[in-house]
Structure 1
Amino acid sequence: MLFILTGLLGIIYAILCGTYDSVRGMTALFHVDRELNKRKKQSSPNTTIRRRESDISRESTPTKISKQEDEPALMTLILKLSVFNGGIFLMSVLLFEFLILPLINIMIVSTFGEDIMMSNKYWELTKTLLTIFYQTTWVLPLLLLSKIVNCLWFQDIADKAYKYSRGRPLINQSISRIVADSIFSILVQVLFLLQATIVELIPLYIVGKILGLVHMCLLYSLYTFEYKWFNMGWELHRRLSFIETNWPYFIGFGLPLAFVTQMSSSWVINGCIFALLFPWFIVSGNEANPVTNSSQYPLHLFSPVIALSNALFNKTIGTRFQKRKVNNTPTHVRR
């Protein structure tokens, strides 16, 4: 009995530590940005000779700006993403959902007066047509643009945060191996998201919701830590194995982001909230030290999608990377 109680306390402690580390990025960002600026100033001594050389170089090449000086700060990148994802994308969706559509509904109801059936009929038709038009002409193009922008800036934010804490990335893989790892990782994430959706359909409502939430917590933790682990040279099998082994910590780490992105019934709004908050969690993940060995029983939730991904990957990409991948896959994944 004491053994079981000790194990439960260890799991709860790891979950709480993960939750704390995830929200700590809100304050860690200011410290990281300040230290990066301090190091930049220390690496560029303010001497009279340097000023004169700088003036001469500016006169000879007035349009030339050093890469170090032109490099945007970490806070600047995150604020730009916040303006784009929150100020433009999210606000436009909220205005359409909660301002434009209600106003049109009021106009239709006032036009038909007491004829409720006719007003409801025209309202449903108008709402459907406007929603389709809005999503095809604004939401989908902006969503594709945001995916591209976010991927580029997320990577830049992760690289800056990693450079602050650990120096240069340790990537010792060939280009073909990196490409194969990236494609396989995306496939695993998509299938795991599909698995999370399926488990939520379990007839027992509470059980389905809890299992779905656990899946999303682990998936968001993988999203967050993948930048750091990739720069550390960890391959996908090692990243997934580490999450499955230390699942209490990563459930706690992904819990805040999973909770706030399920508050709305609109997947577009949830996606905007994710893109708005995710850069902060990248910094949190880079600064975090996961609690390990909190549970003696790994949670092999990624094993089914890895088995399916192996089959799909080998059929679509071919057998070029099969031998390399199988040799580096842990035992529980190859089963």
Structure 2
Amino acid sequence: MEHIKDVLSAASRGILDSLRGFFLIFTLDREIELQRSLKRETKNKIIRRAQMTTPKEPRILHRTLQCSLLNGGVFCLSIFAFNGIVLPLIEALLTFSFSFGGQLNAAQWVWSWTSPVLSATFSTLWILPLFVLSKFVNCFWFQDIADAAYKYSRGRPQLLPSISKMIADMLFSMVIQALFLVQAMVMGLLPIAVFNGLLSMLHMCLLYSLYSFEYRWFNEGWELPKRLTHIENHWPYFFGFGLPLAILTSIPSSTLVSGNEARPTTKANNYPLRLFSPVVALANTIFNRTIGRSRST
């Protein structure tokens, strides 16, 4: 009973921290400027800004809006176009084709298995590559947000020791996240009512948490295995943290700040979920058979 209480408490804490980040994004720029002003006053290095004609736009809020417009706009428009235009058009054409022979029941039967296949194909061939592309394109914008929030709350980032190690870690993380997204889709296709949806939701919550906290842990010098193990060991908190983002996927970047400001609880860690283990093993196999083989030759 105590373990169940810890799990529920950790999940609730994660939800609250995630929601807090939605509102923190609008005030953090002001607090950072106040902190910088206090430091300048302490060091007697006050800079006069009376001659400045136009004020600078808040960096964090500006970057967040850029990321939200790019990711939310592209994702939302493409999903809306597919579900609201493409699928209904295909269904109408299919019904029209079968209507000449009076086989409307056959049309409904064909559509019952055609629709899931088309949705899975769209997710695999469009949503997944778009996720990887957005991860690569926006990593610089997201890193700006994470760096500013991290410097405000913790000071100078402690990055990985070498540039090559940083690049390798980033590439491996992108592969892991892409494979984990595929794993989440596969869980959603399991022929088990309700359970498949819950399991897929759990995967997406952990993926969103990794996506949000990764920049903070990267600034702390954590390598990818440590980041994944930490999420698996404390999955109740990260499930709760990623739950609002899994529901409101149109606001993808706002929890990046809350991921830097949150204090993950470590109480409920008695039952770790090794959900990342399959994709880590698969990614290791892919890298060993490609990069590892090219190095050996």
TM-score by length of 1: 0.66
Instruction: Identify if the C-alpha distance between structure 1 residues 170 and 305 changes in structure 2 by more than 3 Å, giving closer, same or farther.
Output: same
In the alignment, structure 1 residue 212 sits paired with structure 2 residue 200: yes
Post-superposition offset of 1:90: 4.3
Distance 1:258 1:201 in 2: 18
Instruction: Identify if the C-alpha distance between structure 1 residues 185 and 86 changes in structure 2 by more than 3 Å, giving closer, same or farther.
Output: closer
Point out the structure with max Rg over C-alpha.
1
Matched length:
266
In the alignment, structure 1 residue 171 sits paired with structure 2 residue 159: yes
1:269-284 map, 5 Å: 273=250, 277-284=251-258
Which consecutive aligned stretches of 4+ in structure 1 deviate over 6 angstroms post-superposition? 99-102, 319-322
In the alignment, structure 1 residue 79 sits paired with structure 2 residue 74: no
Letter of the 1:279 counterpart? S
SS at match of 2:252: helix
Instruction: Name the structure 1 match of 2:288.
Output: 314
1:145-160 map, 5 Å: 149-160=137-148
In the alignment, structure 1 residue 303 sits paired with structure 2 residue 266: no
Q: Please, which runs of 5 or more residues in structure 2 have no aligned partner?
A: 89-98, 101-121
Task: Report if aligned partners of 2:10, 2:236 keep a CA contact under 8 Å in 1.
Answer: yes
Distance 1:190 1:145 in 2: 10
Instruction: Name the structure 1 match of 2:22.
Output: 26
TM-score by length of 2: 0.74
Post-superposition offset of 1:22: 0.8
Post-superposition offset of 1:35: 1.3
Letter of the 2:272 counterpart? P
Instruction: Name the structure 2 match of 1:223.
Output: 211
| Sequence identity percentage | 48
Letter of the 2:280 counterpart? I
Post-superposition offset of 1:41: 2.7
1:131-142 map, 5 Å: none
Instruction: Name the structure 2 match of 1:7.
Output: 3
Instruction: Name the structure 2 match of 1:266.
Output: none
Q: Please, which runs of 5 or more residues in structure 1 have no aligned partner?
A: 59-68, 103-115, 118-134, 262-272, 323-335
Instruction: Name the structure 1 match of 2:169.
Output: 181
CA RMSD of aligned residues (A): 4.0
SS at match of 1:318: helix
Instruction: Identify if the C-alpha distance between structure 1 residues 49 and 204 changes in structure 2 by more than 3 Å, giving closer, same or farther.
Output: closer
Instruction: Identify if the C-alpha distance between structure 1 residues 259 and 177 changes in structure 2 by more than 3 Å, giving closer, same or farther.
Output: same
